[in-house]
A and B are shown apart, each in its own frame.
Chain A
Amino acid sequence: MSISNLGLSLLVITMNLCIYSIIGSIIGIRLGNSQIKISAKNAAYCTFFTTLISSMCLVYAFVTNDFSIKYVFMHSNLSMDPAYTWVAMYAGNEGSLLYIALVISLSILLVLLFKPKDMYESEPHLIAIMSGFLLFFIGVMVFFANPFDTFQTNIPTDGRGMNPLLAHPGMFSHPPLLMAGLATISIPFSLITSMILTGTFRNNGLDFVRTTSLIVWSILGVGLLLGSWWAYTILGWGGYWVWDPIENVGLMPWLVMTAFIHSIIVQRRRGMFRVWNVLLIFLAFVLAQFGMFINRGGPVVSVHSFAASTLGYIFLGFMVFSALFCSLIFIANYNKIYSDNKIESVISREAAFLINNFFLLAITFVTLWGLIFPLINEVFYNETVTVGAPYYNAVNGPVILLLLFIMGIGPNLSWKGTSNSNLKTNLLYPSLIAIITFTFFFLSSNKPFMSSLALSSIALVLSTIIFEWFRGSRSLIKNGTHWLYAFFKLISNNRKKYGGYIVHISILLVALGVVGINFYQVKIDKVVSVGERIEIGNYKIEIAEISENNFNDRREKVATFLILDSNENIINTLEGNNTFYPTFNMASIRAGILSSPIEDLYIIPSDFIDNDTMKLIISINPLVWWMWLGGPIFILGTLISLWPRNFNKS
């Protein structure tokens, strides 16, 4: 038996396990039979191991260059860096579906293992829903997109190779995290749906829903940020964020999940927003399926569509099914989830959360409209329209600013209502700092009004967080605690809140980078020859050398630049390259980047005219370094927020 037969057989076994798990759970629920329920649960456990071994078969085929498998032939070749053979599994449609199935099966295993015990009532429903979701992906692979399909005759001796744009260190982190993030939105979705179906969507299990949502949200967030970093270093993706359709379909569920993880706090604290939370999680799930559809054969053209296929209609069908399923569950159970509690004051924490939710949804719908508008135009008016970055920046920009503003105000408000004295005490200094920041930047630079507004909003949020930390630590210091211990004690006492604030700081750092690159960037285009010098900002750039390297699958032209400071001292040597892949008729351009907290010197060898001459795009991108620092801080904040507390001991 070949490795391809083993891999496919295991997929068929997984499919049967899913069917058994679904039917077993339903029968178990109907008959109230514990044995059937446990057996169905065991089937759900088994799906992980069968999917894992099936995935290992595909990785093994890549590592051993088994070109008898069509998928391996399409996405690998002998001259590829061996490190990439371990991850080439998700370089195309079929393999990435297998990867998604593996992630879902792992989610099922982990959710069933770590789910709190007071959620036993909804467990069979949860198993049925999650197994149903897994069944869809396994079914697509078994019937339409088999990753183990083989050549019957004329087995090739070498492969076509992986999409050149994917040959980047980012391949090890960005695609798996983004796909995992989109797939695992099914976890909070399934948890909430199962709780609704069993009438237990109250406080039990809510912490677990929040925990899983935070994990999913952070995976998706880190995946998006890593994608930005990847796109920043390789020109083929179009820049760190260009509002490309595939970028947008990853962003939209993340925005909705951001709204959800905020509003679930209100439900946990005050028993409010139950209907709203259900709507949000359903929307996030449907948008994740929309993302799958756009990414896999959807009608929108994107530079990121490396997993494109002809299966778009299947994913469209699943998305429509998901939307109908959600609507049905919502309508049928509306009375069970409706909450009587109302917002008592507009100047309250819960109102701030709701406003934050509206802004996040506004950005989501603006993005969605920009994505579907060209399709609508083409279908109804037969006109080709492109919606690009100017639309998104013009419409989303002000809403993002308002969102930043509410991020600064919200934490100063109290639950149920805020007294005037509290408002004055908590908001006075942050507001003053914001006003001073705005005045300084508005008067001292000739940049647009929006840039000063953005920087003052960042100052408002940051000072709000710092002052709250200060107030909290001060109250502990009064009791005789050392200030450093008091600071850590404060965070430890309310990890969810202060972990959240650290995440807010990471968002501010990303915003700082965006403001820097959008409003303060300096850019020049020039045709230069070896030996020539260019001046930009405080840098002098000397073109030291242009070399050419030929490989089996690519021709690589490398430009070496000497970077000198104003005193003619060499401070660094940078390389940028332009690599052409004849098989794909595609070029991949890698920028030379000298990064510092103040600014990035960014050199793109966009075109090599002859052996000595090339066209360069050079820019100084201020504050981008902080954007990438936002990633680790984002993870740190999420981890603090998730860190469990042992109440049996305390």
Chain B
Amino acid sequence: MNLFILILITIACVVFLIFPFYRKKEYRKDNNQAYAEIRKKKVLLELTSELENGTISKDQFNELKEELFKIESIKISSNNEETDPIEEIIKLKKNQDV
């Protein structure tokens, strides 16, 4: 029984490891912009709550909001800088075609 369990687990592991090579699937890349928007919403809600209970003033709220938008935009531009070299070649090719 124990030997059977061991063989079964070994086979399951091997199948699970080689499966990606048969069912070719690209590594998932998601839209970072959408996540940045959710993050902004979350922080804005917290800032609004702080504005309402008087921990921050209206001016501070606006300053912090601007700062938040700036931080999130830095992220997006840095992502563009760090694109995959293969993607860059594809982009370059496309531009040349145009």
Interface residues of A (CB under 8 A from B): 1-3, 5-6, 9-10, 13, 17, 20, 32, 34-39, 42-43, 45-46, 49-50, 53, 116-118, 120-121, 199-200, 202-204, 207, 268-271, 411-412, 414-417, 419, 422, 425-426, 468, 471-472, 475-476, 490, 493-494, 496-497, 645, 647, 650
Q: Cβ of A496: which chain B residues have Cβ within 8 Å of it?
A: 46
Q: Cβ of B16: which chain A residues have Cβ within 8 Å of it?
A: 42-43, 45-46
Nearest-CB distance from A223 to chain B (Å)? 29
Question: Chain B 1-38, CB within 8 Å of chain A: the 1/0 string?
Answer: 01101100110110011111100111111101001101
Contact B38 A35 (CB under 8 A): no
- A9: contacting residue among B6, B27, B64, B82, CB under 8 A: B6
Contact A468 B53 (CB under 8 A): yes
Contact B55 A5 (CB under 8 A): no
Nearest-CB distance from A130 to chain B (Å)? 17
7 residue pairs of the A-B complex, CB under 8 angstroms, read: A2-B2, A43-B16, A45-B16, A202-B75, A415-B60, A426-B55, A468-B55
Q: Cβ of A268: which chain B residues have Cβ within 8 Å of it?
A: 43
Contact A39 B52 (CB under 8 A): no
Nearest-CB distance from A262 to chain B (Å)? 15
Majority SS at the chain A contact face: helix
A527 to B51, CA, bound (A): 64
List 7 additional A-B contacts (Cβ < 8 Å) besides A203-B71, A415-B60, A650-B41: A37-B27, A45-B16, A120-B27, A199-B82, A204-B39, A207-B39, A468-B53
Contact B20 A494 (CB under 8 A): no
Task: Decide: A203 near B36, CB < 8 A? Known: A10-B9, A269-B68, A494-B45.
Answer: yes
A131 to B8, CA, bound (A): 23
* B98 adjacent to chain A (CB < 8 Å): no
Contact B6 A10 (CB under 8 A): yes
Contact B26 A415 (CB under 8 A): no
Contact A38 B32 (CB under 8 A): no
Contact A422 B57 (CB under 8 A): yes
Contact A471 B54 (CB under 8 A): yes
Q: Cβ of A199: which chain B residues have Cβ within 8 Å of it?
A: 78, 82
Contact A42 B17 (CB under 8 A): yes
A412 to B54, CA, bound (A): 9
The 9 closest A-B pairs by CB, nearest first: A472-B53, A38-B20, A494-B49, A34-B27, A117-B30, A1-B2, A118-B35, A6-B2, A1-B3
A485 to B46, CA, bound (A): 18
A-B contact count (CB 8 A): 150
Contact B64 A118 (CB under 8 A): no
Nearest-CB distance from B69 to chain A (Å)? 11
Contact B32 A419 (CB under 8 A): no
* B88 adjacent to chain A (CB < 8 Å): no
A1 to B1, CA, bound (A): 8
- A118: contacting residue among B2, B25, B30, B52, CB under 8 A: B30
| Closest B residue by C-beta to A471 | B53
- B9: contacting residue among A35, A39, A50, A207, CB under 8 A: A50
* B92 adjacent to chain A (CB < 8 Å): no
Which range holds the interface residue count of chain B?
35 or more
* B63 adjacent to chain A (CB < 8 Å): yes
Q: Cβ of A494: which chain B residues have Cβ within 8 Å of it?
A: 45-46, 49-50
Contact B5 A53 (CB under 8 A): yes
- B10: contacting residue among A2, A13, A412, CB under 8 A: A13
Majority SS at the chain B contact face: helix
Q: Cβ of A49: which chain B residues have Cβ within 8 Å of it?
A: 9
Q: Cβ of B35: which chain A residues have Cβ within 8 Å of it?
A: 116-118, 204
Nearest-CB distance from B4 to chain A (Å)? 9
A647 to B17, CA, bound (A): 36
Nearest-CB distance from A58 to chain B (Å)? 14
Nearest-CB distance from B50 to chain A (Å)? 7
Interface residues of B (CB under 8 A from A): 2-3, 5-6, 9-10, 12-13, 16-21, 24-30, 32, 35-36, 38-39, 41-43, 45-46, 48-50, 52-57, 60, 63-64, 67-68, 71-72, 74-75, 78-79, 82, 84, 86
Nearest-CB distance from B7 to chain A (Å)? 10
| Closest A residue by C-beta to B51 | A475
Nearest-CB distance from A170 to chain B (Å)? 34
A549 to B24, CA, bound (A): 68
Q: Cβ of A475: which chain B residues have Cβ within 8 Å of it?
A: 52-54
A45 to B19, CA, bound (A): 13
Nearest-CB distance from A52 to chain B (Å)? 11
Contact A35 B21 (CB under 8 A): yes
Task: Decide: A43 near B17, CB < 8 A? Known: A1-B3, A34-B26.
Answer: yes
Q: Cβ of B26: which chain A residues have Cβ within 8 Å of it?
A: 34
Contact B78 A203 (CB under 8 A): no
Q: Cβ of B39: which chain A residues have Cβ within 8 Å of it?
A: 203-204, 207
Task: Decide: A1 near B6, CB < 8 A? Known: A422-B54, A494-B49.
Answer: yes
Nearest-CB distance from B74 to chain A (Å)? 7
A13 to B10, CA, bound (A): 8
Contact A118 B32 (CB under 8 A): yes
Contact A20 B2 (CB under 8 A): no
- A204: contacting residue among B6, B24, B28, B75, CB under 8 A: B75
Contact A6 B55 (CB under 8 A): no
Nearest-CB distance from B75 to chain A (Å)? 5
Task: Decide: A419 near B36, CB < 8 A? Known: A2-B2, A202-B78.
Answer: no
Contact A270 B67 (CB under 8 A): yes
| Closest B residue by C-beta to A50 | B9
Q: Cβ of B71: which chain A residues have Cβ within 8 Å of it?
A: 202-203, 270-271
Task: Decide: A414 near B6, CB < 8 A? Known: A118-B32, A270-B67.
Answer: no
A37 to B29, CA, bound (A): 13
